[in-house]
Structure 1
C-alpha cells in the first residue's frame, strides 16, 4: 500500500469532506478489482441487494450525481472495476447488466495492449493484483480494447487509471507525467473510440498533490479526478 498523499493537512481534508457530506454532495462508489468466476454468485447476490436500494450512475447522468442535481428518489451507485481485468467483462459485466447497472472501468491504458504472454509479468511489475486463482491459464487476463469499446457502446463508463498504474508523487518529472497522462489519454481515445473524461491515479492522489500534473490533466481533456475521498472537477 502506498503512502496517502494529500495536498494539505489531514484536518483540512477532513473538513472538506464533512462540508460536502453536509451539503448532500455524495457519490456512492463500490470498488472491485479482479472479479473471478468462482465468486460469481457472491457478486450476483451483492448487486441484487444494491438494485433494491440504488439507481445506476451512468455516463449520461454522472454530472448530476456529482454536482448535487440528482433527481432520482433513490441514491445513485457507481460500481467501479479497477485495472482492466478480463474477468470484469466475462463475470461482472453480465451481472451488472442483469440488474440495470452500468459498470465503470478504470483502466491503466497500457494494459490491454500488452501481449497475452506478458500480461501476468506486467501485472506483477505494476502493482496490478492478479486473482488468487488463474482462471485463464495460457490466455490473456486483461480485457481487450474491442471488449472495452463494445461495453462503452452499451453505455458503460470508462476512466483512465494512468498509463502504467502509476503512483503520482509531488516530484514526478514532466516527461513521466506526459507519458502517464497525454499518452494514456491518446490510448484511451484510440481504444474506446471516444475520450475518457475521468482520471484516477494509483492510490488516489488528489488535485494539489502535484500542480504540474493537474495542469496537464486539464490540457489532456480530463474533466474529473477521482481520489481517495472525493471527486474533483478539473475543467
Structure 2
C-alpha cells in the first residue's frame, strides 16, 4: 500500500473525525474488491445479518446519508465493490439483491474497455488484484459497460475510481490529472449513460492533498470525493 497522504497533520485529521462521529455524521461502508464464488456463502451470511440491522444506501438517498438528514430509524449501509471485477457482477450482485441492498461499484474507467486478452496483465500492472484462485476459464475478468448499464438501471450506484487506478500525489502533473479526471469522467458517462458524481483515488487521497486535482474534479462535474477517512463535498 502507498504512503497515506493527508492535507493536514494526523492530529488534525483525527480531531475532524471525532467531531464528525460526535455529531452523528457518518456513512457505514463495507468494502470489497474481488468477490470469488468460493466465498459466496460467506457473503450470503454476512448480508443476511446486515439485512436485520441496516437500510440500504442507494443513489436516491445517498445525499441524505451524507448530509445528516437521514430519516430512516435504521442506519444506512453502503456496500462498495472496488475495481469492476467480473465476479462482482456474477457473485456479489445476486447476493446484494437477494437481501435488498444496492451495491456501489467503484470502477477505474479504462478497465472495462481493456480487451479481454490483456485484462489479467493490465490488472497486474495497475495494482488491480485478482483472486489467487482464477475461476474464469475464458479471458474476461472485468465487467462490461453493458453490464454496468444494466446494474445502474436496477438502482445500484457507481463511482469513478480514477482512470487507471491512479495514486494521487501533491506533485502529479496537470496532463496526468486531466487524463485521470476529465477523460475518466467522459468514459464513465459514456459507459453508463448517466452522470458521474462520485470520485475516489487509489489509496483514498483527500481533498487538499493536491488542490489542482480538487479544482479539476469540480470542473469535471464530480460532487463528492471518497477518501480513507471521510466523504467530502466538492460542489
Give TM-score scaled by structure 1 length: 0.99
Alignment of 1:137-216 (within 5 A): 137-216=137-216
Spell out, residue by residue over 1:84-134, the C-alpha distance to the aligned partner (whole angstroms, 9 max, x if none): 000000000011001110000000000000000100000000000111111
User: How far apart are 1:196 and its partner, in Å?
Assistant: 1.2
Match of 1:56 in 2: 56
The equivalent of 2:88 in structure 1 is 88
Report the equivalent of 1:27. Answer: 27
Q: Distance in 2 between matches of 1:167 and 1:48?
A: 34
Unpaired runs of at least 5, structure 2: none
CA RMSD of aligned residues (A): 0.5
Corresponding residue pairs, total: 235
Q: CA deviation at 1:64?
A: 0.3
Contact map agreement 2:36 2:87 (CA 8 A) in 1: yes
* Counterpart secondary structure, 1:77: strand
CA contact (8 A) 1:161 1:200 kept: yes
Aligned pairs for 1:4-153 (under 5 A) are: 4-153=4-153
CA contact (8 A) 1:158 1:196 kept: yes
The answer to whether the 8 A contact 2:119-2:139 is kept is no
Question: What is the rounded CA distance, in whole Å, between the counterparts of 1:128 and 1:99 in structure 2?
Answer: 28
- Is there any run of 5+ residues in structure 1 with no aligned partner, and where? none
Instruction: State the TM-score, normalized to the length of structure 2.
Output: 0.99
